[in-house]
């Protein structure tokens, strides 16, 4: 487990890590049940990306900003939004148009070596061991965005599997050129952020690779908690913790009521 | 199914009259989004009526499809997304899917969007991008490979969705059937366009002058509505955007009562069989008033 202090919660760290990778002027979408995603986008807007544009997938509110992390579908976002769109119009650019969104941030029950994601079921679909919630917009956002992020609030062998039991969002499929061979537009997962580290994908094989490990996390610990062989670079970086400025802005201007700290504490050590 | 009631002015009917059109084996669309605008009074009424063998086509939902499944009303359900979010997986849906008691037609956002749009436009099917998922493998009738031009984007055909009946919940309506939403409309209008018969519950009925005061709130104009049912707290235990929050305490009790069929049957006896007046009595005025106070859930 990471060396956890009381100085920031897991949810705050994941939001900070995601926000750092966003660029000014990009377009993003945030789905339902997405507190960390909302915070990450609004934090980026407070820092390096003031013109980042994000829209609530279900609710249609654009850039709702009030210093409180609310569920993205909630009506309260309307009063603090720049526009409110209707879903039957938005589906054109959510479900059909290629590369409208620069990125989406998606959680999953399982992810695999090539960054495919699964929220449908664990085990055989006809008789699953665990029935998940379903696909909703994940298929489209993985297939059509310029890139996507995989955000996992747990990192263990149940969640990091050699091959997902159901592909509901295409990552790099079977690796190599298989994604583009299938006919999908350029894209795929860029980073995976977890309680243990940050991961990217080796450019040729498209296999998941360690990018950085959080403070106090060892290589053995990550290997023990990952159900496939990660690509290990010659030098493993240490994840930069959220700094004082990031935490100050996050807590004062984005999540002033402390939703992330309350809902996403660090997992307890086994 | 009676002839369309869409042009008549007597759309305001009681719950049982509105539900008289729903028969065993029909396809039922459900609007709302997760815990928002779940048409629960209509769902509870349908359970009391004892309808069986429904095919559900829910918008991403929670307690509405879950309760119908737990009450044994459902033979098949489409699943775009059925979730209790921070409260976990939908308990009765999960149990029925894992045991095979209910057939699950796996779908995604493009599948339901393309299918409803085709239904609304009287087209046989919609065309959506093939996104490389396993959906066509487990739902081959719902996702068929489309013929494409050489070098073109891979595409799938999704059959039109035309529900026999759709249940929606809005916050207020006038007697003509103009339904106003204080929050987002989600897929509700598209569902209404695709459906053969549309039943909307609303928390309150208001004069036409109130509707005209802000016509921008009217998401479902009367031409798309067959029946309006006044159902105060009709989205409970979900929330009705702008009027009351979802009832976290009750939803937790619902999840606990869904641990097995016997416990859930007891929940249904206690909460559903007594009618809507009995339901509000059971939840209690104090609890219901608390949900309208605007405090943090």
Nearest to A136 among B108, B189, B219 (CB): B108
> A183 vs B133: CB contact, 8 Å cut-off?
no
Task: Calculate how close chain A gets to B64, using CA atoms only, in Å.
Answer: 14
Q: In percent, how much of chain B has pLDDT > 90?
A: 93
* Structural domain contains residue B113: no
Q: What is the largest CA-CA distance in chain A?
A: 50
Let me know if residue A29 belongs to a domain.
yes
Mean pLDDT, rounded, for B188-203:
98
Answer whether residue A158 is part of any domain: yes
Bridging pattern class, strands A117-118 and A189-193: unpaired
Residues with Cβ within 8 Å of residue B33, at least 6 apart in sequence: A32, A58, A59, A73, B59, B60, B61, B184, B186, B187
pLDDT digit of tens for each residue in chain A (270 aa)?
665 556 999 999 999 999 999 999 999 999 988 999 999 999 999 999 999 999 999 999 999 988 999 988 889 999 999 999 999 999 999 999 999 999 999 999 999 999 999 999 999 999 999 999 999 999 999 999 999 999 999 999 999 999 999 999 999 999 999 999 999 999 999 999 999 999 999 999 999 999 999 999 999 999 999 999 999 999 999 999 999 999 999 999 999 999 999 999 998 764
Interface A-B: count of C-beta contacts within 8 A: 166
Residue B51 included in any domain: yes
Predicted local distance difference test score (pLDDT) of residue A270: 41
Q: pLDDT class for B151, splitting at 50, 70, 90?
A: confident
**Nearest CB to A139 within list B117, B133, B184:** B133
Could you give the C-alpha distances from B49 to B17, B66, B228, in angstroms and in order?
11, 17, 18
Instruction: Indicate whether A172 belongs to any domain.
Output: yes
DSSP tally for chain B: helices H, then strands E: 12, 12
Distances (CA, A) of A36 to A25, B33, B245: 20, 20, 21
Residue A268 pLDDT: 76
- A32 CB neighbours in chain B (<8 A) are 33-34, 60, 81, 83, 85
H/E segment holding residue A223: helix A219-224
- Would you call A135 and B80 a contact, using CB atoms and an 8 Å cutoff? yes
Gap from B249 CA to chain A (nearest CA, Å): 17
Q: Which of A98, A133, A166 is opposite residue B83, by nearest beta carbon?
A: A133
Question: Residue A237 maps to which CATH number?
Answer: 3.40.1080.10
The two tokens of residue A156 are: 């263990």
Which residues of chain A have a CB within 8 Å of the CB of B132?
Answer: 143, 167, 170, 173, 179, 182, 184
At residue B294, the pLDDT reads: 79
Q: Is residue A85 part of a domain?
A: yes
Q: Distance, in angstroms, between B24 CA and closest chain A CA?
A: 25
Show the tokens assigned to A44: 């980026």
- Residue of A119, A199, A206 lying closest to B133 (CA atoms): A119
Name the residue in chain A with its Cα closest to that of B186. A87
- For the cut 80, the answer to whether the pLDDT of residue B291 exceeds it is yes
- So what's the pLDDT on residue B253? 98
CA dist., res. A206 & res. A182, Å (int): 15
Rounded to two decimals, the ipTM of the complex is 0.94
- The minimum CA-CA distance between A178 and chain B, rounded to whole Å, is 10
Predicted local confidence at residue B5, as pLDDT: 54
Q: Which residue of B has its CA nearest to A109?
A: B89
Let me know if residue B121 belongs to a domain. Answer: no
Best interface-test mutation with A: which of B81, B97, B166, B190 has the largest number of A CBs within 10 A?
B81
Number of separate domains in chain B: 1
Q: Does a structural domain hold residue A269?
A: no
- Cβ(B81)–Cβ(B90) under 8 Å? no
The boundaries of the domain holding residue B224 are: 15-107+162-291
> B133 and A167 in contact by Cβ < 8 A?
yes
Beta strands in chain A (DSSP E): 27-30, 53-56, 61-62, 83-84, 103-106, 110-112, 117-118, 121-122, 130-131, 147-151, 160-161, 189-193, 197-201, 208-213, 237-238
pTM of the model: 0.95
By C-alpha distance, which of A115, A118, A107, A226 is closest to A175? Answer: A115
Q: Provide the pLDDT for residue A19.
A: 98
Residue A243's Cβ-count burial label (10 Å; 0-12, 13-18, 19+) is exposed
| Nearest CB to A139 within list B90, B98, B109 | B109
- pLDDT of A65: 86
Q: What is the pLDDT of residue B41?
A: 98
- Quote the pLDDT of residue A4: 57
Whose CA is closest to B233, among B245, B218, B223, B221? B245
Backbone angles phi, psi at A103, to 5 degrees: -160, 160
What's the DSSP call for residue A61?
E
How far is residue B167's CA from residue B38's CA, in Å, rounded to a whole number? Answer: 9
Compare CB distances from A33 to B80, B85, B113 and report the shortest one's residue. Answer: B85
CATH number at residue B41: 3.40.1080.10
Q: Other C-beta atoms within 10 Å of B114: how many? A: 28
The pair of structure tokens assigned to B138 is 């487990």
Question: Which H or E run includes B27?
Answer: strand B27-30
If you average pLDDT over residues B130-151, what whole number do you get?
Answer: 95
Place of tokens 């809507």: B276
- pLDDT given at position B125: 98
Task: Tell me the per-residue pLDDT of B245-254, one tens digit each, with 9 for 90 and over.
Answer: 999 999 999 9
Is B10 contained in some domain? no
Cβ pair A125:B106 closer than 8 A: yes
Mean pLDDT of B201-213: 98
pLDDT (tens digit, 9 = 90+) per residue, B249-290?
999 999 999 999 999 999 999 999 999 999 999 999 999 999
**B86 contacts: CB under 8 Å, gap ≥ 6:** A33, A263
Does residue B138 lie in a domain region?
no
**Cβ pair B230, B256 in contact under 8 A:** no
Q: How is residue A242 written in tokens?
A: 């959220």
Distance CA B297, CA B292 (A): 10
Helices (H), chain B: 15-19, 40-49, 63-70, 91-99, 109-120, 135-138, 188-194, 208-213, 248-257, 261-271, 275-283, 285-291
Query: Residues B157-188: pLDDT tens digits?
Result: 999 999 999 999 999 999 999 999 999 999 99
Q: For residue B114, is it within any domain?
A: no
Residue from B171, B190, B180 nearest B218 by CA: B180
Say whether A33 and B83 touch across the interface (CB within 8 A). Answer: yes
Residue with tokens 């599948």: B111
Burial of B285 (0-12, 13-18, 19+ CB in 10 A): exposed
Inter-CA distances, B58 with A13, A138, B24, Å? 35, 17, 17
Q: Is A40 left (phi over 0), alpha (psi -120 to 50) or beta?
A: alpha
What digits encode the pLDDT tens for the residues B91-112? Answer: 999 999 999 999 999 999 999 9
CB atoms under 10 Å from CB of A232, counted, come to: 12
Phi/psi zone of residue B151: left (φ > 0), alpha (ψ -120 to 50 degrees), beta? left
End-to-end CA distance of chain B: 41
pLDDT higher than threshold 50 for residue B297: no
pLDDT digit string, tens, across residues B117-126: 999 999 999 9
Q: Which two tokens stand for residue B15?
A: 């719950």
Helix axes B275-283, B40-49, angle to 10 degrees: 130
The residue of chain B nearest to residue A83, with distances taken between CA atoms, is B184
A145: containing domain: 10-263
Determine, yes or no, domain membership for B208. Answer: yes
Here the tokens at position B108 are: 């995604």
Residue A3 burial class via C-beta count within 10 angstroms: exposed 0-12, middle 13-18, buried 19 and up:
exposed
B170 three-class SS: strand
Number of separate domains in chain A: 1
B116 assigned to some structural domain: no
Taking only the tens place, the pLDDT of each residue in B225-235 is 999 999 999 99
Q: Are A96 and B128 in contact (CB under 8 A)?
A: yes
What are the Cα distances from residue B295, in Å, to A121, A160, A259, B247, B253? 36, 39, 15, 12, 20
């Amino acid at each position: 487990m990471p060396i956890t202090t009381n100085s920031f919660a897991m949810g705050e760290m994941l939001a900070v890590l995601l926000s750092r990778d966003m660029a000014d002027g990009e377009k993003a979408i945030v789905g339902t049940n997405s507190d960390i995603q909302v915070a990450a986008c609004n934090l980026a807007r407070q820092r390096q990306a003031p013109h980042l544009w994000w829209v609530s997938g279900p609710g249609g509110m654009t850039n709702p900003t009030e210093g409180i992390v609310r569920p993205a579908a909630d009506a309260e976002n309307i009063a603090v939004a720049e526009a409110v769109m209707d879903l039957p119009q938005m589906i054109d650019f959510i479900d059909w148009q290629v590369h409208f969104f620069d990125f989406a941030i998606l959680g999953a029950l399982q992810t695999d070596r090539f960054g495919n994601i699964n929220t449908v079921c664990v085990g055989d679909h006809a008789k699953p061991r665990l029935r998940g919630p379903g696909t909703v917009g994940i298929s489209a956002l993985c297939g059509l965005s310029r890139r996507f992020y995989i955000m996992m609030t747990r990192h263990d062998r149940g969640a990091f599997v050699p091959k997902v039991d159901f592909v509901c969002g295409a990552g790099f499929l079977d690796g190599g050129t298989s994604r583009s061979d299938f006919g999908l537009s350029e894209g795929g997962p860029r980073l995976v952020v977890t309680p243990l580290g940050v991961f990217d994908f080796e450019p040729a094989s498209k296999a998941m690779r360690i990018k950085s490990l959080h403070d106090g996390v060892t290589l053995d610990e990550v290997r023990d908690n990952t159900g496939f062989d990660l690509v290990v670079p010659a030098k493993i970086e240490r994840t930069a913790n959220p700094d004082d400025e990031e935490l100050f802005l996050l807590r004062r201007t984005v999540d002033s009521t402390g939703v992330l700290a309350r809902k996403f504490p660090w997992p307890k050590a086994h | 199914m009676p002839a369309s009631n869409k042009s008549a002015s007597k759309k305001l009917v009681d719950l049982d009259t509105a539900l008289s059109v729903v028969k065993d084996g029909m396809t039922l669309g459900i609007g709302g989004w997760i815990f928002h605008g779940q048409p629960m009074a209509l769902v509870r009424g349908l359970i009391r009526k004892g309808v069986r063998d429904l095919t559900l086509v829910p918008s991403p939902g929670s307690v509405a499809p879950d309760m119908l499944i737990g009450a044994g009303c459902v033979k098949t359900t489409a699943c775009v997304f059925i979730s209790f979010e921070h409260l976990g997986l939908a308990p009765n849906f999960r149990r029925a899917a894992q045991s095979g008691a209910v057939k699950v037609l796996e779908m995604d956002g493009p599948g339901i969007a393309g299918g409803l749009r085709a239904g609304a436009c009287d087209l046989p099917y919609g065309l959506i991008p093939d996104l490389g998922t396993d959906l066509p493998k487990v739902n081959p009738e719902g996702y068929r490979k489309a013929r494409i031009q050489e070098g073109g984007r891979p595409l799938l055909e999704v059959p039109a969705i035309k529900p026999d009946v759709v249940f929606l919940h809005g916050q207020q309506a006038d007697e003509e059937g103009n339904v106003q939403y204080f929050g987002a409309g989600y897929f509700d209008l598209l569902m209404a366009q695709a459906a053969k018969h549309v039943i909307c519950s609303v928390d309150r009925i208001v004069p036409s002058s109130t509707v005209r005061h802000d016509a921008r709130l009217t998401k479902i104009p009367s031409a798309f509505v067959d029946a309006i049912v006044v159902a105060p707290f009709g989205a409970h235990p979900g929330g009705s955007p702008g009027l009351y929050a979802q009832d976290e305490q009750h939803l937790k009790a619902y999840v606990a009562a869904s641990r097995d069929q016997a416990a859930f049957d007891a929940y249904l006896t206690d909460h559903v069989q007594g009618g809507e007046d009995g339901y509000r009595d059971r939840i209690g005025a104090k609890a219901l008033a608390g949900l309208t106070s605007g405090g943090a859930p």
